[in-house]
Chain A
Amino acid sequence: MSFISYLINGLGLGSVYAIIALGYTMVYGIAKMLNFAHGDVIMIGAYVALLSMTHAGMPVLPAVLISVVACTVLGLLIERVAYKPLRNASSSLAVLITAIGVSYLLQNIALLMFGANAQTFPSVVKWKGLSLAGGKLTISGETLVTIIVCIIIMIALILFVQKTKPGQAMRAVSEDRGAALLMGINVNGTIALTFAIGSGLAAIAGVLLCSAYPSLTPYTGAMPGIKAFVAAVFGGIGSIPGAFIGGILLGIIEIFGKAYISSQMADAIVFAVLIVVLLVKPTGLLGKKIQEKV
């Protein structure tokens, strides 16, 4: 029984990683940059939701909605101010280092505004969850909601990218930015839209993460951010289903590692798995193999 309950907890945690990894992977696929500030957008999203609920006394759904809007605007702002001016910089390192800078900036702004003390995050899920097999197996409401939300987001995103005009523009920009520009695609707008979607998802991930692990500090987003990045690489960066599978697998590996090996070693195990996967399959599980034609 405990095996199944670990597995379900792993799925729950993995779903949060998957939602965060989607943001990483879309931005990488389309803007060809690693947005290391993505994890900290999650933290900001969680704070916005927390303040809306506790200070403004809002119900859950409007609070989450405000958080999504706030993060979308934040994502657009970061892209416009920090990344867009560097888009044609000679070295792609410039924008990478800027992203790390933005990450620390967000952490320190949060530190100034909200202090370093951990705040208790009220769960957004009021549902008690399921009790199965005569009470031997309980699944929390948070876990179930997280898994369901993740699956919905995943399907919606794939439909959006495959079936709509902005999605088509995204795929075109991701393949050949120059050719897309010459065919009249608004490349800057497409990249901004990608950031908006990724950051909006980050807000949802933040709320779900803090509902499951209800302690919020300015550093809350950092570690899940890095792990989601690992998940994105694990699944094959640039691939949306890859981010989903990578996130889920990473969550399961982490929970099993904690349960069966050592709770202190869990993070080390996660990163060790990444190293092994990259050694065996450098493009990640679903990554595209790049064939050099000669």
Chain B
Amino acid sequence: MENVLDVKNLGISFGGLRAVNDFSVSIKKEQLYGLIGPNGAGKTTIFNLLTGVYKPDSGKIILDGTDVTGKSTIDINKAGIARTFQNIRLFSQLSVLDNVKVGLHNNHSYSTVESIFRLPRFHKVEKEMNEIAMELLEVFGLKEDANVQAQNLPYGQQRKLEIARALATKPKLLLLDEPAAGMNPNETEELMEMIRFVRDHFHMTILLIEHDMKLVSGICEQLTVLNFGEVLAQGDTSTVLNDPQVIKAYLGE
């Protein structure tokens, strides 16, 4: 099967610090791929490179056969990479429904003029967007909360809403930044189910950063371990997790 994401020799420095060096990875369609490593290893920096928040000094990012290296955040989003955040960044004052609709903006358009004069297209597109957004909310069990302000949702639901909002942008690749952060074991269990479901139901390719080893070993098919900005190990989850080098990086000598 073809690769959705091909990253080749990616690197970036901040001043004298080489935050990511020579990072390469290939992710196949509908794969669940994990990116792990100790704090400060450069995991979130890689997400920021993949989404265009940072521009790489070296290397290439190929998404579904298209080179997106150095493109702007908005173009990369259009090309098909969406993400969630380590610390939830919902539009907290907007309703749950509006949060998802914001994610739909890229693919649904009417002009400002059309919206001011309420031309037929305005109503048509608004109706479409509402339908798609409600469908997504239903899938995530958030339909009843559609009109609740996002900040009033329980924590676990906010995580779900963030994933729904990211999916609304119709990505080819979904990046999840520590989805289990702050969750108890039960919630993590539920989250694992949901990530698998998202992959199967939306035929999604998912790259996730996680510290929770239970989640990583439970759902990730392949792993890359990062340490001090460099790839320490890469391959099948079970092989990688038993690698003495990886154990050393995590637990010390």
Q: Which residues of A contact B (CB under 8 A)?
A: 160, 164-169, 171-172, 175-176, 178-187, 193
Contact = CB atoms under 8 A, between A and B. Distances in A.
Interface string B86-107: 0001111110001001110110
B89 A184 contact: no
Given A175-B92, A182-B77, A186-B74, A166 B112 contact: yes
Given A165-B125, A182-B73, A172 B115 contact: no
Contact of B94 (A164, A175, A181): A175
Majority secondary structure of chain B interface residues (helix, strand, loop or mixed):
helix
A239 to B, nearest CB: 11
A165 B91 contact: no
B129 to A, nearest CB: 8
A193 B116 CA distance: 13
Contacts of A186: 74
A168 B115 contact: no
Majority secondary structure of chain A interface residues (helix, strand, loop or mixed):
helix
Contacts of A193: 112
Interface in B30-78: 51, 53, 73-74, 77-78
Interface residues of B, number: 35
B139 to A, nearest CB: 18
A179 B85 CA distance: 9
B110 A165 contact: yes
A171 B101 CA distance: 12
Contacts of A183: 77, 82, 102-103, 105-106, 165-166, 168-169
A64 to B, nearest CB: 17
Nearest to B116: A160
Given A165-B115, A166-B112, A172 B102 contact: yes
B22 interface: no
A167 B116 CA distance: 10
Given A164-B122, A183-B103, A185-B102, A171 B91 contact: yes
Contacts of B126: 164-165
B159 interface: no
B19 to A, nearest CB: 19
B122 A168 contact: no
B83 interface: yes
A283 B106 CA distance: 34
A182 B83 contact: yes
A128 to B, nearest CB: 32
A50 B78 CA distance: 46
A175 B91 CA distance: 6
Given A164-B122, A166-B112, A186-B74, A180 B102 contact: yes
Interface in B143-167: 165-166
